[in-house]
Amino acid sequence: MGPDSVIQVGSEAVKMVLFISLPMLGVALVVGIAISLFQAVTQIQEQTLTFVPKIIAVFVTMIVAAPWMTEKMVSFTHHLFDMIPTLIQ
Compute CA 74 distance to the chain's CA centroid, rounded to the nearest angstrom.
Answer: 15
Compute CA 20 distance to the chain's CA centroid, rounded to the nearest angstrom.
Answer: 4
* Spatial separation of the C-alpha atoms in residues 15 and 11, rounded to whole Å: 6
* Spatial separation of the C-alpha atoms in residues 24 and 20, rounded to whole Å: 8
Compute CA 45 distance to the chain's CA centroid, rounded to the nearest angstrom.
Answer: 29
Q: From first to last of its 89 residues, what are the pLDDT tens digits of the chain?
A: 678 878 888 899 999 999 999 999 999 999 999 998 998 898 888 877 888 999 999 999 999 999 999 999 999 999 989 988 887 76
